[in-house]
Each structure stands twice: as structure tokens, then as C-alpha cells.
Amino acid sequence: DAGITQSPRHKVTETGTPVTLRCHQTENHRYMYWYRQDPGHGLRLIHYSYGVKDTDKGEVSDGYSVSRSKTEDFLLTLESATSSQTSVYFCAIRKTGGNGYTFGSGTRLTVV
Amino acid sequence: QKEVEQNSGPLSVPEGAIASLNCTYSDRVSQSFFWYRQYSGKSPELIMSIYSNGDKEDGRFTAQLNKASQYVSLLIRDSQPSDSATYLCAVNTLNSSGGSNYKLTFGKGTLLTVNP
């Protein structure tokens, strides 16, 4: 499936704890994205990356940070998780030469 | 704020009928348009892309684009129960320099139910 792996697939964490989600690709694509999906809100862009160490904010970036030290890995960190960050998180890549995205399988995060 | 609007549905059609899904967008300079299908509990899957005014057909799917009206639609012919899913419209716009910003804005999706 386009070589995208998200980990973990499911996670339950407590309010105030840090959480890191990982997106790994095997095809060397330049653009990677983190979205969250919530009922009534659809898919909203959190952060994206256009190369190693090159990242930018999306529409719902508050409370999130990202890092991309290698082409294949894009990490999303919740510095201090809150219940409002309970969501399904999708990583996506934009394949070179294309405009559409390919999505990973998602991470279901619950903050209690 | 660039917006993409879709009717949330649910849209219910009988098996074998044509399902018509609609999407409007606010940014007049939008360039690329996509339809994704998302089954419950799964990730979105790209099914159609369209870049020019007019129709684009792929099997049972036809995407229609009208940039003057800022409107894009997806028709599913001979609908099957397996087509029951949420359909997401996504739009790629230009940045301030006139190039692609490589960011997709998604609508909230339309839930389609095809009844046997």
C-alpha cells in the first residue's frame, strides 16, 4: 500500500503526557502530511513536510509539533496531550509527479 | 479560509441507480480536484482526479468539473452495495506566488448508502 506505515495503530494515553506518532515511507517521496479526522470536521491538516528538516503548519497545528530528520520518517508529537486531541490521525504522502495523496492506515488516539 | 463544501448526506440510492455526489469550493484559483472513498474505519482511497473543465470517466465513475461555477461532482453508475462509503472531495490550490502549495483541503464528506 504505497509503502506507508503508521505506528502505533491504537493508543490510549493520559491527559498531560507526551505522545509521538510515527509515519514511515519506503519510497523516498518528498511531501508528507499529518491530518486528523473528527466527526463533523472531516480531515484537517495539522502539519506537513516538503523535505528533510522542512516543515510547515497546517490549519490545526496548535498543540502539535513535527520532525523530519530522514526522508522516510515524519513524526508527530503531542507535547502534552489533551482530551480534545482524541482523534484518528492519518499520515499521507504526495507521490512524486502526482497531486493526489496516498494515506496510511491511521492511528486511533484516545486521551483520557 | 479556503473552503470545500459537501452535503453530509446520507445519500441513499437503490442498487443499479446512478449516485450523484456534489462539491463546491471557495478558492477561484483552485487547480486540481480529487475524489476519495473512505469505508468505515479505513483510510481514504483516491478514486478520481480531474484538472480540466468537463467530464472524466473511469469505469463506473465520472468526475465533472466546472471551474466557472466552482463545482465538481462525482457520478457513480450502476451503484453497488460495495460502493456504500463516505466520499470526500479534495481541492488543491495555488500559493501566493502562483505555484501549487501542495496542500489538499478536504470537504467533510458525503455518506452514500446503496440499498440492495
pLDDT digits (tens, 9 = 90+) for B4-29: 999 888 999 999 999 999 999 998 88
CA-based nearest residue to A100, from B68, B31, B28, B99:
B31
**Alpha helix segments (H runs only) across chain B:** none
pLDDT of the residue at B8: 82
C-alpha cell recorded at residue B62:
465520472
Contact (CB<8Å) B108/A42 = yes
Contact status of A103 with chain B (Cβ, < 8 Å): yes
Report CB contact under 8 Å: A99, B34: yes
| Beta carbons of A36 and A51 less than 8 angstroms apart | no
Per-residue pLDDT, B103? 85
pLDDT per position as a tens digit, B43-61: 999 999 999 999 999 999 9
| DSSP, residue by residue, A67-88 | EEEETTEEEEEESS--GGG-EE
Q: What residues of chain A lie within 8 A of the CB of B65, using their CB?
A: none
What gap in Å lies between CA A36 and CA A61, rounded to an integer?
A: 10
